[in-house]
Structure 1
Amino acid sequence: MKTLVLGAVGAALLAAPGSAQIVRHSSGGNAVILEGVSVPAGADTLMLSGQLASPIDSSKRPDSVESFGDTKTQTISALNKIKGILASRGYAMSDIIKMTVFVAADPKRQDGKMDFAGMNEGYRQFFGTPENPNLVARSTIQVAGLAGPYYLVEIEVTAAKMAAR
């Protein structure tokens, strides 16, 4: 009996690499982020440095937060930049598994807090959509400031996909 069990376990282990997949662990309910992600050995991964928003009008020198937009606008801009970088390396937004979002306080808010709702509105345009139903494991952190005085959002991501065979 031991030989049969060990044989079955060994066969399962040998079969696993060919059937290994990235597993997204949902937190359930209406959550917009994942509880976690399991990435098997052999997956190709790409880690992007933090990306900031681009100016709304690239012909003008940025001189205010309005030059880059509010938190939602900057989130969308940074995610579009990430989308382009990923595409240039053979990845898609659906390959993102982990995201860290740094958000500075919105100067229009009197309470000195980040615009978490605005960031989520921008995020929801890219994740959990018909085009990309995938969600990501994500952390969102309010910071005192970012690389420049007009930036409200910086996003870094990790993408993973199974290697082509």
Structure 2
Amino acid sequence: MKRRITTDLAIIALAGGLLAACNAPASDTGGGEASSGGAGSINRIAIPGSDFPISMAVETSGNVETLYVSGIVPQVVDPEADPNSREAYGDTKRQTETVLEEMRARMEDAGWSLGDIVMMRVYLVGDEATDGRLDFAGFMEGYSQFFGTPEQPNKPARAVAQVAGLIRPGWRVEIEAQAARPAD
């Protein structure tokens, strides 16, 4: 019991130190603008030698504001279909499109844009059209219309995972995001 309390206290102390470090003013590490009271910056680090539409990493420094976008799920594309069916929401490509269209609308309503996204987490459900595996190609067809394009060249860092299911049986895609931009 004493060891568990000691371990718990060590974890609490570590968490407290991390919180203090996160709340402390950032300092210039030699690669960007000084951030003490200055403007913020967003540095998207490309994957070397790749045109894949994600960043290897995204670094923020200085005075930046952030927006956390809750998971967004597909919108109905066939109102005549059973609301629990895949047909109601379309294939993975179409579901990705409706999720990102809804994300764009929500962010624009809040004064942000898809180009402000620095981190994205994507949850894909296996599809019967791909023998129960996630349809990564379909996802990328939808995703590539919104990121790394001439109209919107910014690329977020991103993770994609296959999950067993989402709340509605017909859903194949859920996306959450974190956005950042220099503060005024």
- TM-score w.r.t. structure 2 length? 0.77
Alignment correspondent of 2:140: 120
In structure 1, the residue corresponding to 2:87 is in which secondary structure?
helix
Q: Work out the CA distance in 2 between the residues paired with 1:109 and 1:129.
A: 27
Alignment correspondent of 1:3: none
In structure 1, the residue corresponding to 2:61 is in which secondary structure?
coil
In structure 2, the residue corresponding to 1:81 is in which secondary structure?
helix
Does residue 95 of structure 2 align to residue 95 of structure 1? Answer: no
Alignment correspondent of 2:94: 73
Q: Work out the CA distance in 2 between the residues paired with 1:136 and 1:80.
A: 16
Residue 31 (structure 1) shift: 2.2
In structure 2, the residue corresponding to 1:114 is in which secondary structure?
coil
In structure 1, the residue corresponding to 2:69 is in which secondary structure?
strand
Alignment correspondent of 1:163: 183
Q: Work out the CA distance in 1 between the residues paired with 2:53 and 2:104.
A: 19
Q: 1:47-106 deviations in whole A, cap 9, x for unaligned?
A: 111100110034765241011000000000000110011011110011011000000001
Q: Work out the CA distance in 1 between the residues paired with 2:169 and 2:84.
A: 9
Alignment correspondent of 1:62: 83
- TM-score w.r.t. structure 1 length? 0.85
> Structure 1 stretches of 5 or more lacking a match?
1-9
> Structure 2 stretches of 5 or more lacking a match?
1-27
> How many residue pairs are counted as aligned between the two chains?
152
RMSD: 2.0
Is the contact made by 2:34 and 2:62 (CA closer than 8 Å) also made in structure 1? no
Moved over 2 A (4+): 17-20, 57-61
Q: 1:128-162 deviations in whole A, cap 9, x for unaligned?
A: 11110111100000001011111000000001111
Does residue 157 of structure 2 align to residue 141 of structure 1? Answer: no
Identical-pair percentage = 39
Does residue 25 of structure 2 align to residue 24 of structure 1? Answer: no
